[in-house]
Structure formats: C-alpha cells, structure tokens
Amino acid sequence: MGVRVSVESASKMIAAPERKVSDANGIILTPIDLAKEDPALFGHFQLHEQARDAEVQAVSSWYRSGSGPAPTQGGVWVGGSILVPLAGQNPPANAITNSIDYTWDNTNLRGWDSQVSVRLIIQAGSNAWEANVTAANVGSISAAGANIPANAQLQFQMRVGTLQVSLFNPPYISTNSVRVHYTY
C-alpha cells in the first residue's frame, strides 16, 4: 500500500532540525513556537513587551533648566542659558530627538506681553532649528523626521518689539526648561 510515516518523523522531514543549546549543567534550551503552542501566553508576553518598550521610550530623555533671557534693548534677540544634557544624562551618539517638552516663565513680562516674541533655538553641529513658542509658555514640539541629534544644544531667546531702543522696566524670563525625548 503506502509508506507509513510517523508524525514525529514526518515533522523532522518537513521542519529544519531544532538547534539545542546546553550549558555545563546539562540543561537544554530548545526553541519552540510559542505563538502556535500557547497563543494566550504568547499574547500575554507581547503585552508585557509593549509596556516595557513604552517605559524604555519614556525613560529615554534628558532634562535641563536654566535662567532665561533678560533683554535691555528692543528689536534684537537676546538669549538665556544654553541647555545641554548634564553629565550622566548624555544620550547615545546615534540618538535622535522625537519631541521637546518646554516651559518658560511668563510672570515677568511687565505689561510688554503684546510686544514679546519668544523662540527656542536648537543647534547641533552646523545645523540649527527654530521653534516659535511665543503663543504658549508650556508645550511640546514634535521633532519627528527632523533628524535632530538628541545631544543638541537649546536656548530660549526673547525679542521685545521691532525697534532697537533701550527698554525701561524691560520684561524677562526668569527660568526656562526643556525635556528632550529621543530614540536610538
């Protein structure tokens, strides 16, 4: 009639031989297809892996605060502290910025609100970017697709009006901060 083949020998004929790894204690690791063997457990592991990846993403950031700009003349951009990662927060060399959360203190505008412009300058190597943050003193800037290195330098700048004149009782930003989120 026909040739009888056991299920075990048939699976060995169809599938590639399994690679087994053993350690000095004789414990053998054998690869399995968990998605087929136990789909519920596989799904559970997938959920934990996604949650862990989200946590890693959330931790992949650096934070810095500093003093803001204090212009004494109108019509020119004046910068505050240059914000860079602190020692121990340095991102890997290949890390790219995803987004930047920022805040700048707007309590010392002293009635100049309608004349104040605020921007965030981002500089890395010979490249620079500008984000107008005048409208909101707290927010988030998406940097997806811009390929901004995560170790870029940032600086808040303020300009008061357009005329280059000395200012009486000028506005200023006492503090500002950024949190740079990145992937690598």
Residue 67 within a domain = yes
Alpha-carbon torsion, ordered 170, 113, 180, 178, to 10 deg: 40
Residues 148, 98: Cα–Cα separation, whole Å: 8
Residues 66, 89: Cα–Cα separation, whole Å: 16
Residue 159 within a domain = yes
Residue 30 within a domain = no
- pLDDT at residue number 92: 92
Residues 78, 133: Cα–Cα separation, whole Å: 15
Residue 70 within a domain = yes
Single-letter amino acid code for the residue at 66: G
Contacts of 9 (CB under 8 A, 6+ apart): none
Residues 89, 84: Cα–Cα separation, whole Å: 9
- Domain containing residue 101: CATH number: 2.60.120
Residue 82 within a domain = yes
- pLDDT at residue number 6: 44
Residues of the chain below pLDDT 70: 1-26, 52-59
Residue 130 within a domain = yes
Residue 22 within a domain = no
Tokens 């901004």 locate to 148
Residue 178 within a domain = yes
Q: How many domains does the chain have?
A: 1
Tokens 């700009």 locate to 69
Reference 121, options 156, 168, 84; nearest CA is 156
Query: Which range of residues forms the domain containing residue 75?
Result: 63-183
| pTM higher than 0.95 | no
- pLDDT at residue number 5: 42
Distances (CA, A) of 111 to 4, 53, 96, 116: 93, 46, 39, 10
